[in-house]
Chains A and B, each alone.
Chain A
Amino acid sequence: MSVAAEAGRVRRRRDFLEERRFLAPVLIGPAIIFITALVGGPLLLAVYLSLTDATAGSLTGEWVGVSNYVDAWDSPIFRRALRNTLIFTAISQVVVLVSAGLLAHALIRKFRGKWIFRFLILLPWATPIALGTIGFLWIFDSLFGVFNWILVHDVLPGGQAFYPYKAVNWLLARPALPGWLEIAPIDPFNPPQWLGQPTLAMAAIIAVHSWRIIPFATVIFLAGLSSIPAEVEDAAKVDGATGLRKFWYVTLPLQLPIATVALLFGIVFTATDMTVVFILTHGGPFNSTHMLTTWAFDTGITSSALGQGAAISLYLLPVLALVAILMLRFARRTEVS
């Protein structure tokens, strides 16, 4: 009798453990608690710190209201960093989306040796970005780097005549070039410092970052392309849609969702990236290539102005909030369909 009761109690306890209402929170709970503590906590702390004059070495400071935000805004370096972040994000996203779209369309086809191309294209994504950027430091080297070697060396063997820098200088001498480019003609005896001139350095940063994001965006595009059912293509073919018409009315609209996802990720990964700029130029020359992230690092860690630094990095929050809202909206729409 008591044995049966015991068994029943064990059974009931097990049933309780099996209860969905109980089991789901138990399984999800630890992850949520952990994430809240390690993401939500610091985020709130960042907001708090940005409203104080805290410095490294103390977790609290005098309450100073929004003056950190005002001070940051009044600094010319901050303005420049904000502008750089916008330019950096916008241009690299255009480059990345166009490249990834083209690449994914090509890679979804069947062709010989596809795996080796895929391997080569994925390489930048698989490389730790801090290390990949060091490779580019060497590529942009002004004495032994790739670009300057090509530009000021006679590339035709025995030719003694064709120096590629001459063609570049001819182009640079066109009066149609906008003045803000600020690129001087190339002096073969003093070749360009790729990372030592503001416009060139920004271009280098954008190039390196695009190089790193293109494979990832391509992968997302590939996933989206392969989720378009073949029947749609067939139906378009039956209806006589070909070439550009098919691309405009069938392929492009179907890809809009996946392009949106790739873009939203790209914006977040680009606007909040610090590694490429940090290693390539560290904001130089003369603080002309700082992004919000590197400027926050220099202010908050290097200069120990914790509150100031937190305020600078929190200027990124509106961008992130916007992306989050768009993502949520997007997720809800796919759920409905």
Chain B
Amino acid sequence: MLAKLREQGPAYLVVGPFAIVLAFPFYWMLMTALKTEGDLYNPANVPFKWNQDSPTFDNVEFLFRETEYLQWLENTAIVGALVVAITLALSLPAGYALARLSGSWGQSVGVAIFLTYLVPPTLLFLPMSRVITELGLQDRLASLVLVYPSFTVPFSTWLLMGFFKTIPAELEDAALVDGASRLRALASVVFPISLPGILTVVIFTFSLVVNEFVYAITFISSSTERTVSAGVPTELIRGDVFYWGPLMAATLIPAIPLALLYNVFLDRFIAGFTGGAFR
């Protein structure tokens, strides 16, 4: 017992305080999201717990009834799905080819593609905003669908390259010997095995889309076309009027499912992310 404590104790001492600090905002959001107005704005109440009439789902109801929040969630889902599709179509073949077919210069091209992931939206949003206007896409979700793959494709290609490297080449060679073409071997042997890796790419690509803020506020200004990341800070905060309860609910609703997915796919993400670099 004592030996166990000595072994595990230090880990708790580090992880405990960090977990409290990093997760505290979510506790605070949850408390606020489910409070009544009377509870929230009474300075006599201890704010860390629910007081009179709380918890309540009034704020969540307000969010879905009185604001365009649901529309923003929908927009985000549409853009996310389309961007994921485009990203996979471009980065699946590229990631595979970089891992398998192209030998020594494959690594260099891989790194070069990855480096473009580091060119940030904050450097490109000004010229992009002009291009989007020229194309007549301003205020339309299509502008985001067009531009988001510029960072999701490099990121996903890198991840997929990492995953494909972990799959032994002998597996496809066996299929090739059996007379399958390379593309066929790809479709019937390689992709099914790498399905967990592909799913990881889907999750993280989607979350990049949900996260994106700079392009979303630059290209789109009508409230019905907003994504959730841009809609909540711009449309729900008007001047000095803050609807804190609904705002906190709006923050938590996308965060929770994403956090659960991250946890499930984290180990695979690590494998793919470092697979390209540390192998």
Contacts and interface: CB of A to CB of B under 8 A. Distances in A.
Tell me if chain B binds chain A: yes
Interface of A: 14, 17-18, 20, 23-24, 26-28, 30-32, 34-35, 38-43, 45-46, 49, 54, 56-57, 59, 99, 102-103, 105-107, 109-112, 115, 117-139, 141, 143-144, 146, 149, 211, 214-215, 219-220, 222-224, 226-227, 261, 268, 272-275, 278-279, 293, 296-297, 300-301, 306, 309-310, 313-314, 316-317, 320, 323-324, 327-328, 331, 334-335
Given A112-B8, A125-B262, A334-B277, A32 B113 contact: yes
Given A45-B130, A131-B255, A134-B232, 14 more contacts: A18-B181, A28-B94, A30-B93, A38-B147, A39-B119, A39-B124, A106-B10, A123-B23, A128-B211, A132-B255, A272-B122, A275-B214, A306-B130, A320-B119
A215 B23 CA distance: 11
A146 B182 CA distance: 60
A-B CB proximity, top 4 nearest? A272-B120, A27-B97, A38-B150, A31-B94
Given A28-B102, A138-B32, A138-B244, A109 B258 contact: no
Majority-rule SS of A interface residues: helix
B202 to A, nearest CB: 15
7 contacts: A54-B130, A123-B259, A131-B250, A134-B250, A144-B244, A328-B111, A334-B278
B2 interface: no
Given A134-B247, A310-B127, A313-B122, A31 B28 contact: no
Contacts of B262: 122, 125-126
Given A27-B94, A42-B131, A331 B254 contact: no
A223 B270 contact: yes
A331 B111 contact: yes
A104 to B, nearest CB: 10
A48 to B, nearest CB: 8
Contacts of A327: 111, 115, 118
Nearest to B259: A126
Nearest to B269: A219
B248 interface: yes
Interface stretch (B13-21, B51-59, B165-173, B190-198): B13-21
Chain B CB count within 10 A is highest, among A128, A132, A138, for A128
A117 B119 contact: no
Contacts of A122: 259, 262-263, 266
Nearest to A118: B263
A31 B112 CA distance: 12
A41 B23 CA distance: 41
A34 B90 contact: yes
Given A128-B210, A128-B211, A131-B229, A35 B150 contact: yes
B50 interface: no
Nearest to B245: A138
A324 B118 contact: yes
A31 B91 contact: yes
Chain B CB count within 10 A is highest, among A57, A223, A226, A301, for A223
B154 A35 contact: yes
B149 A34 contact: yes
A27 B126 CA distance: 31
Interface in B86-123: 89-91, 93-94, 96-98, 101-102, 106-107, 109, 111, 113, 115-116, 118-123
B134 interface: yes
A317 B120 CA distance: 10
Contacts of B71: none
B207 interface: yes
Interface string B1-45: 000000110111011101101110110110010000000110100
B171 to A, nearest CB: 17
Contacts of B21: 211
A309 B18 CA distance: 39
Contact of B214 (A45, A274, A309): A274
A268 B278 contact: no
B230 interface: yes
B128 interface: yes
Nearest to B211: A128
B118 A46 contact: no
Given A27-B94, A131-B254, A275-B213, A224 B274 contact: yes
B228 A46 contact: no
Given A46-B127, A129-B213, A132-B251, A23 B101 contact: yes
B270 A219 contact: yes
Nearest to B151: A39
B218 interface: yes
B247 A27 contact: no
Interface in B179-219: 181-183, 207, 210-211, 213-214, 218
Contacts of A297: 122, 125, 214, 218
B127 A49 contact: yes
A138 B11 contact: no
B129 interface: yes
A21 to B, nearest CB: 9
B153 interface: yes
A27 B15 CA distance: 44
A211 B98 contact: no
Given A135-B25, A323-B118, A117 B15 contact: yes
Contacts of B154: 35, 39
B19 A149 contact: no
Given A138-B248, A313-B122, A130 B259 contact: no
A28 B97 contact: yes
Contact of B93 (A28, A211, A279, A310): A28
